[in-house]
Homo-oligomer: A and B are copies of this chain.
């Protein structure tokens, strides 16, 4: 066993942290001001920082393929993901933001040469955004077989109809591509009904109804959009991998995405714990710094324990994905999906409490980050669905012996 990051990771982490210190934290305020001034356009500071980051080689770090990216394993990339997670908007600076990362991997892994040629270069250059349309409002989409949108072959085209919401990233002014999941064959076996298809955002028939709100936040300019697809027609060549293979692709992109989400949440929680520590050290109530009130120390200690445990579990899941593969890491991937967002909600809630009313306001990132962490207890399946699956895997170990 070895709990130390390897040299490659350490080196990149040092660069990344230096970049965060020099360029990201000092511009947090500016970022929010620019968003407030022009809500649905990517703020100029992001463009500026992207150039800087790329120049320093901090670009496409997530890509395990070293031709285009950093060639890191999940275990090597995970700590970088945590570092970026400390500032919610920072991953895009390094072209490492969801859902673009998942989309790039999907196209690279499952795309035809033509599909790759058309989309990958600009995506890898960070010149456009993309989105992933899966969740639907009318069904419990924790059970993915519930999805109802249709993708119907019609001559040389597919015709797409359906309603999708929580389509994140569509708010970006340069969101040019959607990966759409829907049913090509409702009569096929349960896990062969679904397909994924590439849909350029300028295709007629796509209508954005509204931005969904996360607690009161619309997360502009990224946005989580409620959309209608009304006879949206795309060439048959836009199909990914083949009809009925949507679930297969979904499984493939799932694992790394979970690691990224969870490591970012760990970074988020670390940041909030830092804010908490600084706050309680500087505020006095009833004659003593809040830091010396017993309940404060208890919460800081519990936060430290919870964060460190969640990090280790996530790194272990990453390590298993790297060594024995997604399938054998299934339980662990489910476990971090439960553990990390709950941990983050717990830690941030304490941090809020330590800040008094300021903690829920726009003066600190805490309430916003809480909303984000809370959302991740629901996105990609609510806690309960994952716990059920983890529980069943555990029971299976003793099934023969009953």
How far apart are A298's CB and chain B's nearest CB, in angstroms? 5
A361 within 8 A of B: yes
Bound complex: CA A17 to CA B385 (Å): 34
Q: Pick from B75, B286, B298: contact of A143, CB below 8 A.
A: B286
B312 touches A362 (CB 8 A): no
How far apart are A144's CB and chain B's nearest CB, in angstroms? 11
- A357 with B375: in contact, given A277-B394, A295-B295 (CB under 8 Å)? yes
Bound complex: CA A382 to CA B280 (Å): 14
Contacts of A290 in B (CB 8 A): 140
How far apart are A15's CB and chain B's nearest CB, in angstroms? 19
A305 touches B367 (CB 8 A): no
Number of copies: 4
Contacts of A332 in B (CB 8 A): 308
B395 touches A338 (CB 8 A): no
Contacts of A274 in B (CB 8 A): 398
A259 within 8 A of B: no
How far apart are A338's CB and chain B's nearest CB, in angstroms? 6
A137 within 8 A of B: yes
Bound complex: CA A296 to CA B394 (Å): 12
Stretch at the interface among A43-51, A63-71, A214-222: A214-222
A384 touches B294 (CB 8 A): yes
A356 touches B4 (CB 8 A): no
- Give the 7 A-B CB pairs with smallest separation, nearest first: A216-B216, A294-B294, A297-B391, A309-B309, A312-B312, A216-B217, A301-B390
User: Given A215-B216, A303-B394, A353-B377, 14 other A-B contacts at CB below 8 A?
Assistant: A137-B358, A140-B290, A212-B357, A277-B398, A278-B401, A294-B296, A299-B391, A301-B386, A301-B390, A301-B391, A304-B331, A312-B316, A352-B374, A353-B383
Listed by A's residue number, 9 A-B pairs whose Cβ atoms lie within 8 Å are A140-B285, A216-B218, A274-B398, A297-B387, A301-B386, A304-B335, A308-B316, A308-B335, A353-B383
